Amino acid sequence: MANTTLPTTLGALRNSEYTPARMARTVKDELRENLIARLRANAAGPVKEPLFPGVIGYEDTVVPQIVNAVLSKHNFILLGLRGQAKSRILRALTTLLDPALPYVAGSELRDNPYAPLSQFAKNLIAKHGEDTPIAWLTPDQRYVEKLATPDVTVADLVGDIDPIKAARSGEDLGSELTMHYGLLPRANRGIFAINEVPDLAGKIQVALFNIMQEGDIQIKGYPVRLPLDVAVVFSANPEDYTARGKIVTPLKDRIGSEIRTHYPESIDEAIAITQQEAWSARGGEIALHVPYYISQVVETVAFAAREDKKVDKRSGVSQRLPISTMELVISNAERRALLHGETLAVPRIADIIAALPGISGKIELEYEGEMRGADTVIREIIRQAVVNVFDQYFADTNTQQIEQWFNLGGTVALTDDHSAKDSIAELKQIQGLFEKLGPLKLEKNSPAEISVSAAEFLLEGMTAHKRLSRTEERAFTAAEKKSRVDQAAQYAEKMRDKERDEAARNRTRRGFN
């Protein structure tokens, strides 16, 4: 610790506030007491501080359950799909630990100076007495995390005999001083987290039984019991954490609380998360303005994907999707500004479509989705997201005047090759266009970049509703008028798609995919 006022010897520690009674608290006692203090401070103070900073949308659902688990001194597990802040919550538990914790310097088990566990610490105290050196742990140093993988061994988690250490020290192999401690013993007096616990092999899960119930471990069958002081927490996917999954039932029985996480329940919550996590403060000479409707569309893409039958529900659609999508959207707007020497970057709907490569990597498709193709599925999801947000602003807006202009042969191309000023000049040809942007509440004399983004949003929404057409080169034109022959062909194609989808579902049910 950088704080030089902390005691550095056992004798000085005895004369400090770190008394044997205080140091006798277990980790779970410490978490409980500090949580109670924080809850009381929030109840008494005018401003309530979040219990877990940076975790948004769980205030009334997940957080109360975690509070109950900590107050009950439970080991607990967070069950949720990917991208539901499970690891962030587990790491945030360190905010409930004391700012500093003394231990016997050099001890691998971070021994309590008043009640050492390891033979190393006992020997050191016997040799130096009151001059035994003391070191200090920060809350972050008291958090040990392991991602469960099939190749994890008992030695990784618990420990093993180290013959090299025995040879160098001259000790017998049965001596505690020849042991190599695994991650669990090294987490003594702290929090040990295992992510995706069902991925651990069954025999490794069995190795956790003692630490979960009796609080001790044994290494290689030697009669050395180490009554560790550890708060053990887990995370897992709900699909794997079942009797049909890969979890050993006795281990599941030893976990005190099962807490379900979830994706954001509202667009506003999702926007707040993305604003917190996405890299948007780029700096440099180009200013950035992200219209609220762009943020809404980006988040609605994730919401729509979670409901789409062609997207794998078991995998989920991570909240990382809108975060990475927003970063790509901003980057495309930034690139356009750089191309034209503009000082303001304003994202457009076209930038969301340009972010398709970042979206495709975050979505896993069902068989029927794979048959259609990822790009086709994602473009349809984006179109639906645009429709949903467009209707929030323009559901009561009469766009016939705009449609008529296009029906008379008008065409407007909005590409990255055009500067904002050039695009404004083209858009002003459309009669009644800018008058219809009132629901977006643009300020008077808004910069051209903002006005172009707003106008394009209106045109994209009309295109999504099939009132206009748009080419792949981003030229907006009148809606295509289909002949009866075209309509019949389209209907026949739709029926063929329906038959293919039904066949795919049947194959899925039979397990042939």
- For 402-429, b where at least 16 C-beta lie within 10 A, e where not — what string? bbebbeeebebbbebebbbebbbebbee
Of 234-238, 250-254, 325-329, give the range with the top mean pLDDT.
325-329
What are the residue ranges spanned by the domains of the chain?
10-260, 267-478
pLDDT band at 491 (very low <50, low <70, confident <90, very high): low
Instruction: Tell whether the model's pLDDT for residue 132 goes beyond 50.
Output: yes
Query: How wide is the angle at C-alpha 12 spanned by C-alphas 11 and 15, nearest 5°?
Result: 95
C-alpha to C-alpha distance for 452 and 470, rounded to whole angstroms: 16
Query: How wide is the angle at C-alpha 288 spanned by C-alphas 284 and 293, nearest 5°?
Result: 160
- pLDDT per residue over 208-248, tens digit each? 888 887 777 777 666 677 889 999 999 998 888 875 568 88
pLDDT band at 2 (very low <50, low <70, confident <90, very high): very low
pTM here is 0.84
- pLDDT per residue over 278-302, tens digit each? 999 888 889 999 999 999 999 999 9
Q: What are the DSSP calls for 271-282, one per residue? A: HHHHHHHS----
Question: Three-state secondary structure along 189-218?
Answer: CEEEEEECHHHCCHHHHHCCHHHHHCCEEC
C-alpha to C-alpha distance for 221 and 204, rounded to whole angstroms: 15
Q: Pinpoint the alpha helices (H) of 363-470.
A: 367-372, 374-394, 400-407, 420-427, 448-464
Instruction: Give burial (CB, 10 Å; 0-12/13-18/19+) of 57.
Output: buried
Instruction: Tell whether the model's pLDDT for residue 484 goes beyond 50.
Output: no
Instruction: Tell whether the model's pLDDT for residue 80 goes beyond 90.
Output: yes
User: Could you tell me the CATH superfamily of domain 10-260?
Assistant: P-loop containing nucleotide triphosphate hydrolases (3.40.50.300)
Q: Which 8-state DSSP code applies to residue 99? A: S
Average pLDDT of every residue of the chain: 88
Query: How wide is the angle at C-alpha 225 spanned by C-alphas 136 and 120, nearest 5°?
Result: 45
How many Cβ atoms from other residues are within 10 Å of residue 259's Cβ? 23
Instruction: Tell whether the model's pLDDT for residue 169 goes beyond 60.
Output: yes
pLDDT band at 96 (very low <50, low <70, confident <90, very high): very high
Q: Two tokens at 195?
A: 């992510």
Instruction: Tell whether the model's pLDDT for residue 378 goes beyond 50.
Output: yes
